[in-house]
Structure 1
Amino acid sequence: MGQDAIAPPNGITHIVWDWNGTLLDDNHANLAALNQVCAEFGRAPVELEYWRAVFRRPLLACYEELFGRPLADEEWARLNQTYDRHYSSLLPSCRLADGALQVLTSWTGRGRTQSLLSMAAHRHLEPLITERGLTRHFTRVDGRRHDGAHDSKAEHLVQHLEAQGISPSTVALIGDIDDDARAAREAGAHAVLVATGLMSRARLEATGHPVADSAAEAVAMLGD
């Protein structure tokens, strides 16, 4: 059952962008990496729409449900290594989401600020943003620098905003899964979700937060 609908926020002066599935169009790379993991663990491959219907954080619980059994620590480590290796091999084929660059440029041109926060490992994320020439758009770029207790973006968002001295009430987090909405709520920020990543529109709408079909539409929901 969905939560009561939350109106699009007003008075937003700072956007915190998610990366995978939001600014980066990488569903095909995620699915290919997932199915390589499935092959190694003796599970039949899955289709994207199935994965969008079941994907969630914490990731360990999600994968244990996918395989129908608990995963030992060494299996979990091997799973992540396999996934990361195959995903990384496909990164060159991943383009920015449609209109993403224009949206980043336009928001800055309106005299407002934006930053990037991803649950991808920081050591992998930072050079990727630099290589794509995107650093200039962001006041700060943070990937996952440590593993949190609950495998959620929430504590990372709090730290991300505190490091910049930004009031959460002026912030909209734009992301593609329900954990982005949860993170914004726990941090005291707002959220707009985009139905372009690893979670279906129906599941995003169930959070009660506004849902857009693109990054550009998400920003348009923030008003003037």
Structure 2
Amino acid sequence: MSRVIRNVIFDWSGTLVDDLPAVLEASNYVFAMAGVPKMDLDQFRREFCLPFTKFYDRYVPHVPISQLEEWFHDAFRRCRHMVAEIPHAREFLEFCREHRLRTFLLSSVHRDHYIVQAEATGFGAYLDHVFVEVRDKRTKMRGLVAEHGLLQDETIFVGDMEHDVEAARAGGVYACAVLTGYNHPEQLRACAPDLLVEHLGELRDWLTREGFEIRAALEKLESEQQQS
């Protein structure tokens, strides 16, 4: 008998809220202060990665991380009014509540920014357990799964970046990539998540159609692809 999804772990930025315009503006402020060229949106989406220390090491290795973070957070606070909830996110969170799915947040977002954004959107009320300021989600994911006694084949991690797919694999849970955030579609396809959806509304419809039995649905899909 196939197990059904009972636990949903969310990324925050690019998955539930759209903070990309604000992050780009704050990052370009950092680049200007560090004396390096700014990035346009397309370049930033292709180059930005997690853990974000790798990104900084690549472009501003001559500036201490503490100084970079100070510049970034100061600039981000000035443009946080640009952050908005992503379409279909609220409905998906309500869907999780309706079906009594356990919900978790696993994100690198700064705690102060999360508190402001969660209050503005009301999304915090839908999340049972929140883990923020996580530098490397791959390591934290393993601990989260063990600490909360999650069965791996009943758990899915939903995120918008390659690092999120890697984190899901590190924890042995299903990986769903959404195209509402930072990474380009081709970047996400290249890392081969279990599911790739345009937005959370599509994931909601998929789970409903498949009766939350993700393993059986994926095995059926793989079989159909092999036969075609």
Same fold (TM over 0.5): yes
1:220 paired to 2:205: yes
The residue number in structure 1 matching 2:97 is 108
- Structure 1 residue 85 corresponds to structure 2 residue 74: yes
Confirm or deny: 8 A CA contact 2:138 2:166 kept in the other structure. yes
2:163 aligned residue (166, 170, 179): 179
Q: Does the residue aligned with 2:4 lie in a helix, a strand or coil?
A: coil
CA contact (8 A) 1:126 1:142 kept: no
Equivalent AA in structure 2 for residue 56 of structure 1: C
- The Cα of 1:127 is off from its aligned counterpart by 5.5
Residue 180 (structure 1) shift = 0.6
Contact 2:104 2:130 in 1 (8 A): yes
CA distance, structure 2, for counterparts of residue 220 and residue 140 of structure 1: 24
Q: Deviations over 1:114-162 (max 9, x none)?
A: 22111123454245424532233121111126xxxxx420122223333
Look up the SS of the partner of 2:109 in the other structure. strand
Task: List per-residue Cα deviations over 1:21-60 (Å, max 9, x = no partner).
Answer: 1100111001101110111111222111111111112323
Q: Where in structure 2 are the equivalents of 1:153-192 lying within 5 Å?
A: 153-192=137-176
Deviation at 1:169, TM superposition (A): 2.1
Count, aligned residues: 207
Deviation string, structure 1 residues 139-192 (Cα, Å, up to 9, x no partner): 1111126xxxxx420122223333332222211100011111111101110110
Structure 2 regions of 5+ residues with no counterpart? 212-228
Measured in 2, the distance between the counterparts of 1:43 and 1:112 equals: 45
Please list the CA deviations of residues 196-217 of structure 1 after superposition, one character each: whole Å capped at 9, or x if unmatched.
2121111111011122221222
Q: What does residue 133 of structure 2 align with?
A: 144
Residue equivalent to 2:45: 52
What is the alpha-carbon root mean square deviation over aligned residues? 2.1
Higher relative contact order (CA 8 A, sep 6+): 1
Q: Please, what TM-score do these two structures have when normalized by structure 2?
A: 0.82
Which of 117-126 and 36-45 deviates more? 117-126
User: Quick check: 1:18 aligned with 2:3?
Assistant: no
Task: Measure the CA separation in 2 of the matches of 1:171 and 1:21.
Answer: 20
Q: Which has the larger radius of gyration?
A: 2
Instruction: Please give the secondary structure, in 2, of the residue aligned with 1:193.
Output: strand
Q: Which has the higher helix share?
A: 2
Measure the CA separation in 1 of the matches of 2:25 and 2:101: 37
* Gapped regions of structure 1 (runs ≥ 5): 1-8, 146-150
| Structure 1 segments (4+ residues) deviating >4 Å | none
Match of 1:207 among 164, 188, 191: 191
Q: CA separation in 2, counterparts of 1:115 and 1:59?
A: 21
The TM-score, its normalising length taken from structure 1, stands at: 0.83
Amino acid at match of 2:27: L
* 2:60 is equivalent to residue 62 of structure 1: no
1:119 counterpart SS class: coil
Distance 1:17 1:31 in 2: 22
